[in-house]
């Protein structure tokens, strides 16, 4: 072979290898552990971390050692082998006080006592960095936090950190089915390969557990709330055990969604009546079996009497009757029951906003002490913007659990860059006024308003089999933000975005500043081109992809978008004031005062609570119609700005990741225009007013948009 050809091939292969080394496919999430780019900090870190020791020999401590070795080797570009004992030159020590007399001598007992079972301390003491906790899982959490400090290039010269989770149960809800489809999943198939379990353990299960532990998530509901009773059979419980054995090492308990009718479907009974003694005994025996296989099983999550699911109301019993039956079954094993408050019925003519409150608030104080009522952040269904759910603050005798949606069912699915941190914070910071000013939703769910110790937050998972876990690279930030807020709901979405960008893309100031700007504005941008001014539930039905405000022929009235926007010749919006459905009466008087008057209501929620004339004068002087046009066009324009900002950091971002996001932003731009044009053309048939001439006019007809079909949209 001629020399020139050999040389050309060599150069080509080198280029390919170099590209492969650099390419970032997103699999490592925020745990990439790339070399610290600041040389001064790098030298400082190396000096501070010499001969590190991690003390103990449990499986969890071994996981902590593995993580620290992996993290330090990557971040500090030096191979580390961790010691299990303290030497004279040891400058970094991790372990419980029980594992080391040095730690117990240098960290006061009263300080450790404050950290509980999961918290940790990171402290510079006696010239050494000490990470300690009351439990091995606390040590693991502390090591992940320490690695985060290095990843985000923080000063570790004099550390004095005490971190304690504000919520006890920090849980991902997987809406994964046994056939590996994922309801409202936009990142491929389920990561649980039930067919190959328990014999085959995918490495992905371990990395999933690592990722959750890194942000403090300590629970996973493995199957869909629209449950299949087969998950409780002997064969599947062995598969669940295999996953539980992996999760346990990382402090994660597994939970199962239980189908209320399981005693009939798999138990041979003729009833599932919660007051029937045979049914009660069946569940007690099932709990005994589960705990004999999985001693630390977390408990059951139940969706009952909602959207066709079986439940206690089938037998004229209450939700408390059903929840308490299951709670009694798991109570001897310290298990809990999480009972979803997402209920509404087609035969109930009452405003859907009111139905969950009407069903559950009269039951306050009637649930067992190991029952949590899991409440969606808003009363309808994970809309891009909703007022907080009125149940928060209305059930002081009941432990309430927040349910957020991480998967982007209504917020752009896998094609849109929408950072949900601001949405989560908006809800958590909302004041219920249930115990006076300052009774925020966050304080309701962390137990501080009503002295509850059973506390928690759940997030509907956005995880699938895609190589980057979440479909859209930026969707990883929503998983990350959820976990960080579970641990500490006082963190702000800006700080969380800053961490995630530094750990995922770069610590360079220019990149952090510009990408954070994109993220922090993305949710508001999406609301503007989808559901401005309090519009809601106007998406395509079934698949929930794209706009379809015209749908009105579905059998159940509350499944039709026209039910929610109520556009007519006089105006648009759902009147939930005293003169309408009076849903506003479910909130405290202080909240009612904020929203009851059309002239004082926060305009971001205007059409949620009011039916407003098309020519109503907005606070900026525009008519409602013109402001609606402004919002839709502004949202679509801001997606263009997202594209431009992303292009400006092209040279600083891994090529593969850059190209993936650039392509998705192009899709998002087309979808924003689609939402804008379709909605305005439809609402224009009622307003009879023109889209202002200063705006680019729609290039397709309303009939074109109404004719679009998506029978194979994902997640349906």
- Which uninterrupted H or E stretch holds 564? helix 562-565
Phi/psi at 365 (5° precision): 90, -5
Alpha-carbon distance 29 to 25, whole Å? 9
Strands (E), 394-527: 399-405, 456-460
Alpha-carbon distance 330 to 324, whole Å? 10
Map tokens 């079972």 to a residue: 117
Structural contact between residues 601 and 595, judged by C-beta atoms closer than 8 angstroms: yes
Map tokens 């906003």 to a residue: 353
CA angle 141, 203, 254 (to 5 degrees): 55
CA-based diameter of the chain, in Å? Answer: 88
DSSP 72: H
Alpha-carbon distance 204 to 211, whole Å? 10
Alpha-carbon distance 184 to 408, whole Å? 8
Respond yes or no: is residue 381 known to be catalytic: yes
From the list 69, 183, 358, 381, the catalytic residue is 381
Six-digit token string for 317? 């019993």
Map tokens 């390919």 to a residue: 16
From the list 118, 176, 409, 671, the catalytic residue is 409
Of 541, 404, 558, 415, nearest to 484 by C-alpha is 404
Of 583, 586, 580, nearest to 432 by C-alpha is 586
DSSP string, 509-538: HHHHHHHHHHHHHHHHHHHHHHSGGG--S-
Length of the chain: 716
Alpha-carbon distance 97 to 135, whole Å? 9
**Helices and strands counted in the chain (H then E):** 23, 15
Structural contact between residues 522 and 472, judged by C-beta atoms closer than 8 angstroms: no
Respond yes or no: is residue 307 known to be catalytic: yes
Phi/psi at 132 (5° precision): -145, 165
Q: Please give the torsion angle defined by the CA atoms of residues 174, 180, 181 and 186, in that order, rounded to the nearest 10 degrees.
A: 60
CA 198 vs. chain centroid, Å, equals 28
CA 187 vs. chain centroid, Å, equals 14
DSSP string, 138-190: HHHHHHHHHHHHHHTT---SS-EEEE--S-SEEEEE--B-TTS-BTT--SSS-
Phi/psi at 653 (5° precision): -115, 145
From the list 202, 296, 307, 364, the catalytic residue is 307
Respond yes or no: is residue 409 known to be catalytic: yes
The crossing angle, in degrees rounded to 10, of helices 234-249 and 59-75 is 50
CA 654 vs. chain centroid, Å, equals 26
Structural contact between residues 476 and 483, judged by C-beta atoms closer than 8 angstroms: no
How far separated are the first and last CA of the chain, in Å rounded? 56
* Cα→Cα distances 297→240, 269, 340, Å: 10, 25, 19
Q: Which residues are catalytic?
A: 307, 381, 409
């Amino acid at each position: 072979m001629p020399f020139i050809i050999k040389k050309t091939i060599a150069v080509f292969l080198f280029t390919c290898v170099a590209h492969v080394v650099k390419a970032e496919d997103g699999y490592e999430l925020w745990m990439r552990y790339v070399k610290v780019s600041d040389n001064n900090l790098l030298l400082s870190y190396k000096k501070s971390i010499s001969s590190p020791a991690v003390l103990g020999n449990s499986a969890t401590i071994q996981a902590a050692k593995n993580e620290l070795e992996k993290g330090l080797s990557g971040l500090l570009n030096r191979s580390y082998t961790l010691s299990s004992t303290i030497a004279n030159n040891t400058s970094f020590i991790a372990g419980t006080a029980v594992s080391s007399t040095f730690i117990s001598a240098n960290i006061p007992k009263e300080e450790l006592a404050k950290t509980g079972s999961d918290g940790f301390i990171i402290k510079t003491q006696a010239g050494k960095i000490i990470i300690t906790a009351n439990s091995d899982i606390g040590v693991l959490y502390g090591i992940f936090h320490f690695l985060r400090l290095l990843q985000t290039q923080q000063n570790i010269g004099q550390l004095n950190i005490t971190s304690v989770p504000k919520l006890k149960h920090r849980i991902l809800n997987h809406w994964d089915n046994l056939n590996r489809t994922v309801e409202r999943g936009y990142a491929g198939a389920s990561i649980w390969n039930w067919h190959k379990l328990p014999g085959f353990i995918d490495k992905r299960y371990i990395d999933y557990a690592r990722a959750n532990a890194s942000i403090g998530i300590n629970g996973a509901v493995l199957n869909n709330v629209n449950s299949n009773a087969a998950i409780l059979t002997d064969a599947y419980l062995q598969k669940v055990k295999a996953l539980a054995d992996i999760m346990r090492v990382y402090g994660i308990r597994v939970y199962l969604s239980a189908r209320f009718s399981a005693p009939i479907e798999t138990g041979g009974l003729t009833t599932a009546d919660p007051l029937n003694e045979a049914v009660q005994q069946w569940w007690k025996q099932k709990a005994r079996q589960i705990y004999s296989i999985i001693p630390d099983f977390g408990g059951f999550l139940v969706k009952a009497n909602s959207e066709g699911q079986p439940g206690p109301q089938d037998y004229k019993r209450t939700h408390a009757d059903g929840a308490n039956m299951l709670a009694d079954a798991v109570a001897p094993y310290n298990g809990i029951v999480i009972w979803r408050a997402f209920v509404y019925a087609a035969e109930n003519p009452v405003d859907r906003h009111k139905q969950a409150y009407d069903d559950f608030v009269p039951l306050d104080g009637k649930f067992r002490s190991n029952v949590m009522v899991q409440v969606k952040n808003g009363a309808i269904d994970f809309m891009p913007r909703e007022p907080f759910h009125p149940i928060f603050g209305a059930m002081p005798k009941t432990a309430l659990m927040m349910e957020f949606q991480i998967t982007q069912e209504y917020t752009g699915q896998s094609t849109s860059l929408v950072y949900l941190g601001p949405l989560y914070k908006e809800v958590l910071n909302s004041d219920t006024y249930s115990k006076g000013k300052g009774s925020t939703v966050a304080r309701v769910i962390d137990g501080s308003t009503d002295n509850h110790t059973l506390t928690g937050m759940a997030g509907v998972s956005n995880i699938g089999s895609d190589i980057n876990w979440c479909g859209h690279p930026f969707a990883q930030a929503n998983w990350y933000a959820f976990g960080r807020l579970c641990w500490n709901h006082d963190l702000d979405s800006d700080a969380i975005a800053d961490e995630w960008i530094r750990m995922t893309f770069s610590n360079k100031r220019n990149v952090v500043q510009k990408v954070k700007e994109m993220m922090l504005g993305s949710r508001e941008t999406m609301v503007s081109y989808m559901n401005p001014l309090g519009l809601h539930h106007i998406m395509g039905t079934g698949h929930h992809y794209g706009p379809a405000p015209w749908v009105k022929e579905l059998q159940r009235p509350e499944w039709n978008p026209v039910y929610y926007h109520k556009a007519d010749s006089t105006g648009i919006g759902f009147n939930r004031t005293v003169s309408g459905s009076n849903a506003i009466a479910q909130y405290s008087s202080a909240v009612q005062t904020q929203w009851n008057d059309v002239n004082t209501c926060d305009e971001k929620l205007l059409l949620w609570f009011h039916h407003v004339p098309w020519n109503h004068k907005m606070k900026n002087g525009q008519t409602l119609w013109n402001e609606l046009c402004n919002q839709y066009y502004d949202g679509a324009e801001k997606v263009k700005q997202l594209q431009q900002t992303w292009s400006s950091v092209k040279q600083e971002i891994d090529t593969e990741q850059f190209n993936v996001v650039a392509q998705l932003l192009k899709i998002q731009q087309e979808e924003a225009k689609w939402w804008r044009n379709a909605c305005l053309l439809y609402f224009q048939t009622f307003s009879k007013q023109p889209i202002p001439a200063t705006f680019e006019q729609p290039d397709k007809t309303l009939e074109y948009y109404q004719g679009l079909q998506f029978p194979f949209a994902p997640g349906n």
